[in-house]
Amino acid sequence: MRKLTGHIFLIGFMGVGKSSVADELSRKIEKTEIDTDKFIEERLKMTIPEIFEKKGEEYFRKCESQILLYISQLSPRVVSCGGGFVMNPLNVKKMKRIGTIVLLKATPESIYERVKDSTDRPLLNGNMNVEYIEKLMNERMPVYEKAADLIIDTDGMTPNEVAQKIDKYYSSGLGVER
Ligand code: S3P
């Protein structure tokens, strides 16, 4: 059993609602929120699609890893991580040292409904359909699940309800199952 202590890293597939849950949770537990995508965009003064196009995905992934160095120097935060953040095992190792990882899950269909009108996710541009989302999700899920200390199925839940569930573990000091 692990307790939800230190930074709380919210991970999961694009469009699962990490940012909305982070907003609610940071209010509830009175911890500042960091959104890794927004952080990188602000630092580079470029949008995520521009970074992918002009600098390449590899560069973006390096920026993601560098954020951890910065976060490790801060008091506990609620960190909403881009969907590929934990695909780097070194990131996971560092995240485990400084906090706990909460995986948010949803079906490919509900993810599709949330992302279908957006063009700000380079990996989905040109691949905006349930089949592709399901394929990429299946590839990533074993890594997501292995990294996670707590897993929440968010289908049918509001961001506030998801945040409440995380808060229950966080505030009570209850151990999480994994
Ligand atoms: C990505 C997810 C995006 C963003 C980038 C790459 C991914 O973040 O970091 O487009 O590889 O899954 P969200 O999960 O917040 O959409």
Q: Which of 52, 64, 123, 140 to mutate to test the pocket of ligand 1 (most atoms within 8 A of CB)?
A: 123
Number of compact structural domains in the chain: 1
2 closest CA partner among 164, 162, 149: 149
Given this model, what pLDDT does residue 177 score? Answer: 62
Given this model, what pLDDT does residue 5 score? Answer: 82
**What residues flank ligand 1, with Cβ below 6 Å?**
14-15, 18, 37, 48, 82-84, 121-123
| Rounded average pLDDT per 10-residue block, the chain, 178 residues | 84 98 96 97 98 98 96 96 98 96 97 95 95 98 96 96 94 70
pTM above 0.85, yes or no: yes
Domain range for 65 is 3-177
Given this model, what pLDDT does residue 4 score? Answer: 76
135: domain CATH number is: 3.40.50.300
Q: Where are the beta strands (DSSP E) in the chain?
A: 2-3, 7-11, 33-35, 78-80, 99-105, 150-153, 175-176
